Amino acid sequence: MNRLHVALSESDISRIVEMAWEDRTAFEAIEAQFGLNESAVVDLMRKHMKASSFRMWRKRMAGRTTKHLALRSPAVQRHRASHTRQA
């Protein structure tokens, strides 16, 4: 299901943008949590960022293997933000 057709809250959008900027957060993690595939994340980023910021993000993401689970090394572990609770 593509959630672009479903209204996302401002906090959801903020979290998706944050996750998309993080090097170690794969697009698959965003899809699992919010139901947005990579192209939907790109569309969301384009819509909610200034054009120059979007271009900078796209340039940064181009070819970054850590953004795709199937391409990245097993040595790359999931990033856990310092403000989240460790189990």
pLDDT band at 44 (very low <50, low <70, confident <90, very high): very high
Q: Is 74 left (phi over 0), alpha (psi -120 to 50) or beta?
A: alpha
| Average pLDDT value for residue range 56-73 | 72
Domain ranges of the chain: 3-62
Look at residue 31 in the predicted model and tell me its pLDDT: 92
CA torsion sign for 17, 20, 26, 31 is positive
Instruction: Measure the CA angle with vertex 77, ends 1 and 40; round to 5°.
Output: 25
Predicted confidence at residue 25, as pLDDT, reads 86
The pTM assigned to this predicted structure is 0.69
Evaluate if residue 14 carries a pLDDT over 80.
Answer: yes
Please write down the HEC assignment for all residues of the chain: CCHHHCCCCHHHHHHHHHHHHCCCCCHHHHHHHHCCCHHHHHHHHHHHCCHHHHHHHHHHHCCCHHHCCCCCCCCCCCCCCCCCCCC
